[in-house]
Amino acid sequence: MTAITEEIIPVTERIELRAVDERYTTELHGLVIKNKAWLQESLNWPQFVGTEDDTRQNIQSNQMLHQRGYAKMFLIFCESEMVGVLSFNAIEPLNKTGYIGYWLDESHQGKGIISQALQAFIDYYVERNEIRRFVIKCRVANLASNQVALRNGFLLEGCLKQAEFLNGHFDDQNIYARIYAS
Ligand SMILES: CC(C)(COP(=O)(O)OP(=O)(O)OC[C@H]1O[C@@H](n2cnc3c(N)ncnc32)[C@H](O)[C@@H]1OP(=O)(O)O)[C@@H](O)C(=O)NCCC(=O)NCCS
């Protein structure tokens, strides 16, 4: 029998990142539905998630992008419970640049889970020499997300005007980056 290897990034004794996989469909779907209304305040996609099949299709396409290196999607587990997602929404391999996205279960905020996961995620890709420029783009109005960037040593590079469509408006977006020169 062939052993199935799972890509895992250890974060702390309690937290780990597991590469997206179809086996997590039911748990991820449950987490999205539980947080759907709240997430819709800061992200555009939750409104399109209805059935578990929607989540399965999303996982399948992300799994393909993950394996081909055009994006990466990791599920955040805290004490073996899925509590959020940390991704490269896009990777530019030539430029060694990764565009980071994240969200947490609402009740798991305020514990440093994203910050700690982000640090391990960055270390993992720096060590592999795959990414040197890490980018966070977030709406100016998203205070919690701006704080994640600032708390983790990202520098504000500028403000992109009306760059993000959300809930009927084109909002200004801050762009932050952290660069690891080897
Ligand atoms: C953005 C989001 C992930 C931030 O979550 P978060 O829990 O605030 O982020 P962190 O992991 O950095 O945690 C920081 C908080 O934990 C506290 N904390 C506790 N232990 C900590 C530790 N070891 N390290 C860092 N912070 C710690 C900090 O004091 C801070 O608390 P505060 O907000 O009360 O000051 C979350 O609000 C979210 O999912 N929002 C909706 C989706 C979204 O907006 N995504 C981003 C789109 S651009």
Average pLDDT over residues 2-17: 88
Domains with residue ranges and CATH for the chain? 8-179 (3.40.630.30)
Ligand 1 site, residue 77, Cβ cutoff 6 A: no
**Mean per-residue pLDDT of the chain:** 96
Q: What share of the chain is helix, strand, coil (3-state, %, to 5)?
A: 35, 35, 30
Question: How many angstroms separate the CA atoms of 64 and 66, rounded?
Answer: 5
Per-residue pLDDT for 144 more than 70? yes
Ligand 1 site, residue 15, Cβ cutoff 6 A: no
Please give the pLDDT value at position 4: 60
Per-residue pLDDT for 1 more than 60? no
Question: How many angstroms separate the CA atoms of 61 and 147, rounded?
Answer: 30
Residue 94: half-sphere exposure toward Cβ, Cα within 13 Å: 0
Average pLDDT over residues 37-45: 98
Mutate to test the pocket of ligand 1, among 47, 148, 174 (most ligand atoms within 8 A of CB): 148
What element of type H or E holds 71? none
Please give the pLDDT value at position 58: 97
Amino acid at 86: L
State which ligand 1 atom lies nearest to the alpha carbon of 103.
Answer: 39
Question: How many angstroms separate the CA atoms of 142 and 160, rounded?
Answer: 14
* DSSP 8-state assignment for residue 121: H
Residue nearest to ligand 1 atom 37, measured at CA: 144
By three-state DSSP, how is residue 177 classified? Answer: strand
Q: Which of 13, 9, 49 is nearest to 31 (CA)?
A: 49
Beta bridge partners of 103: 85
Ligand 1 site, residue 153, Cβ cutoff 6 A: no
> pLDDT digit string (tens) for 46-75?
999 999 999 999 999 999 999 999 999 999
Please give the pLDDT value at position 67: 93
For ligand 1, the distance from its centroid to the CA atom of residue 172, given in whole angstroms, is: 21
> pLDDT digit string (tens) for 78-100?
999 999 999 999 999 999 999 99
Please give the pLDDT value at position 5: 73
State which ligand 1 atom lies nearest to the alpha carbon of 84.
Answer: 39
Ligand 1 site, residue 142, Cβ cutoff 6 A: yes
Residue nearest to ligand 1 atom 23, measured at CA: 112
Please give the pLDDT value at position 112: 98
Q: Which of 11, 35, 182 is nearest to 96 (CA)?
A: 182
Q: What is the pTM of this model?
A: 0.97
> pLDDT digit string (tens) for 101-121?
999 999 999 999 999 999 999
Q: Which of 176, 174, 173, 153 is nearest to 164 (CA)?
A: 173
For ligand 1, the distance from its centroid to the CA atom of residue 113, given in whole angstroms, is: 7
Per-residue pLDDT for 2 more than 70? no
Please give the pLDDT value at position 98: 98
Please give the pLDDT value at position 3: 56
